[in-house]
Amino acid sequence: MYAKIFTKIFDSSIAENYMTRHIFMDFLVLSDAEGRVDITLEALARRINVPIEIVKAAIAELEGPDPKSRTETDDGRRIERLYDHIDWGWRVINKEDYRDMKCLNDVKERSRKRSKAFRDKKAAEKSTAESQDPVQPVESKAKTTETNPKAEKPIDFPQKFSADEDFMKSWASWEVCRRAMKKPARSWNEFFQHQVDWLEKMPAPDAIESLNQSLRNGYQGLFEPRTPNRKGNSNGYKHTVNRNAGTYNDGPNLASYESLVVCGDRSKNVR
């Protein structure tokens, strides 16, 4: 197995003990996709080539609560026992979070490369056009954009979003990644405004998870969270997205605006 280790681990509470941090990083590498390290203490010490007493001390610290941890669940514990009747076999509690962080960074890197390739292509086309027809005005398109009032209209965020730092950070990442994808909108501000209007029907934590879910999976649109922060669906934001018409049942008719498709290539009931 393998795992990506992020630099922020050196700024976390676990960094206060370098040996504990080192052994936790070994746990991440040795664990399977579900975070399990199903081997004995002696085998673990041999595998990572660390004296068994040091491994015992580090495991005791990793199994214990950490009030300084960024993670609020499980009292900040990093690992837990797989079995109650034996003293070996562990599971990395937040292995899924590490896996999701890996996917999110991969998506950002792919988006960055696509954006660079697109910019390079446009620059080459512009250079070729100018060399073939140097008299042709090249500022006409820019002037058209500047005189278009829709291009200048800012996105109107509701108060519960504009005052939420976590939402605005997730939104900024979503806007950058969505603009870098292959399917551009005719008017980005109008496109994003409809998404904000849809998200407004959710509680703020669900709206943030919807954004992060699309970032993690590289979606072209937004979907209701798969694990929403409530039971049932009592908040009234269930709706249907139609890929061809570009409409949804509780929003305006966008049939004349085909590029404003909220959910990209998918046509489904959002649940």
The DSSP annotation for 137-187 comes to -SSHHHHHHHT-HHHHPPP---HHHHT-HHHHHHHHHHHHHHHTSS---S-
Which pLDDT score is estimated for 196? Answer: 93
Strands 90-92 and 36-37: antiparallel
115: amino acid identity, one letter: S
Residue 217 CA to residue 24 CA, distance in Å, equals 27
Which pLDDT score is estimated for 103? Answer: 58
Which pLDDT score is estimated for 173? Answer: 93
Neighbours of 253 (CB within 10 A): 10
**Domains of the chain listed by start with CATH number:** 7-97 (1.10.10), 149-270 (no CATH)
Instruction: Give the Å distances, CA to CA, from 142 to 80, 87, 96, 134.
Output: 59, 69, 46, 17
DSSP H or E segment with residue 165: helix 165-179
Q: What is the mean pLDDT of each run of 10 residues along the chain (271 residues)?
A: 71 84 89 88 92 93 84 80 90 77 69 89 85 57 46 82 92 92 85 92 92 90 75 45 35 35 39 36
